[in-house]
Chains A and B, each alone.
Chain A
């Protein structure tokens, strides 16, 4: 049983470009969340998708958008990239939201470097 898989694992973009990161949740999981983790810091919540809808959103600008597909996989899109967007982007999946006791599984992340 594959866990949470993310792609690409590493990528380099220039300022102003757009990037799309992809995530496949653990089998059977219907909830996907995205996080940004700058070097040496804890992850910051970007947004959460459940049943193809954005259910919660953190304090990130509209340049950050996402989508969840019927098979529960998800994409994170970032437009007009800034140097400060360089970070590890983590995807996590869980079953039926984040109810007490539901384990959240993280992917290995996508390293984005903006130059």
Chain B
């Protein structure tokens, strides 16, 4: 069964600090991995898309890494802002177009 596990479930950080979110998956055959930001009650918004051959990809203050050998990915948020408070969801897509979602990590940034 394809699974995507995210950790931590939630975290609280102070504005200006950095944090790293983890995503481990067992999806096979792997096509690509995506990180999404979802504000409460809103639809997810794409942050990064990473294919098998990509190790790192940045989008502003968001940097995602991928280790396809160990089937692990991380999302690093640099110099956090209050607007970063949201749920961050890891999505892994298999070659047969199936999406597997993690449960998300809820990030709360406090002033």
A interface residues with partner B (beta carbon < 8 Å): 4, 33, 35, 41-45, 48, 55-56, 58, 88, 90, 92, 97-101, 103-109, 111
Contacts and interface: CB of A to CB of B under 8 A. Distances in A.
B99 interface: yes
Sort chain B's interface into a size bin.
20 to 34
Interface stretch (B12-20, B60-68, B75-83, B100-108): B100-108
B28 interface: no
Interface in B10-58: 31-32, 34, 36, 41-46, 49, 51
Given A97-B97, A100-B32, A42 B89 contact: yes
B103 A105 contact: no
A45 B43 contact: no
B91 to A, nearest CB: 8
Given A58-B98, A100-B32, 5 more contacts: A41-B103, A42-B4, A42-B102, A90-B44, A108-B43
10 contacts: A33-B99, A42-B102, A44-B101, A45-B99, A48-B97, A56-B97, A104-B34, A105-B46, A106-B44, A106-B45
A103 B101 contact: no
Say what secondary structure dominates the interface of chain B: strand
A103 B97 contact: no
Nearest to A58: B98
A101 B32 contact: yes
A108 B99 CA distance: 19
Contacts of A98: 31-32, 93, 97, 99
Nearest to A101: B49
